[in-house]
Amino acid sequence: MLYFGDCRLNTPNMLDQRIQIIQGDITRLDVAAIVNAANPGLLGGGGVDGAIHRAAGPELRAFNKTLGGCKTGEAKISPGFRLPAEFVISTVGPVWKGGNSNEAGLLGQCYYNSLKLASAHNITSIAFPAISTGVYGFPFRQACEIALSSSNQFLVQNDNIQKVLMVSFSEADFNTYLGIYTQVNSR
């Protein structure tokens, strides 16, 4: 998986305009799909995972029991139940182990595979939290670069998806994310 340090993107100087950086609670967003930073069992947990399960209602956990879990870097789809979003796409980010365990590649796959699954379900708008940057411990700045490059790499070859929102919960994270977006866009 490539990221910006490699400078090998198809559009190295400009991110796809469909990518936007926003601040907020992902469970409140009126988009076709929100992505959950889930754990492999897909049955709920802490952080954004807990917030999504609370907002979707117990039906999400019951549905996810039928999915057989999810491997790191892969993605599974569920209905949104009580969420404004029509679908939840669950992906399992890598746990940060110091950087030499293919964490970057696996995180890139989370974004790429989530977008691929969304497109296959004719989803046109999708919102991502900053996967792996909470309890999984991935360094935030590097995670943002990977999120942007991997999503951009998908979008250059896809016309179905119209809007990709990168959602930060805190104002500090939002400012960091926006700074990286601006920096990457002006390279």
Positions that interact with ligand ADP (CB under 6 A) = 25-27, 37, 47-49, 51, 93, 129-136, 167, 169, 173
Cα–Cα dist 156/16, whole Å = 7
CA distances from residue 179 to 31, 104, 174, 186 in whole angstroms, order as listed: 24, 20, 8, 11
**What is the pairing mode between strands 33-38 and 87-92?**
parallel
Of 9 and 111, the one with the shorter C-beta distance to ligand ADP is 111
Helix (H) or strand (E) segment spanning residue 35: strand 33-38
Of 9 and 128, the one with the shorter C-beta distance to ligand ADP is 128
Of 54 and 65, the one with the shorter C-beta distance to ligand ADP is 54
Cα–Cα dist 28/11, whole Å = 32
- Residues tagged active-site: 49
Of 49 and 145, the one with the shorter C-beta distance to ligand ADP is 49
DSSP 42-78: -S--SHHHHHHHHHH-HHHHHHHTTTT---BT-EEEE
Residue listed under structure tokens 């954004």: 48
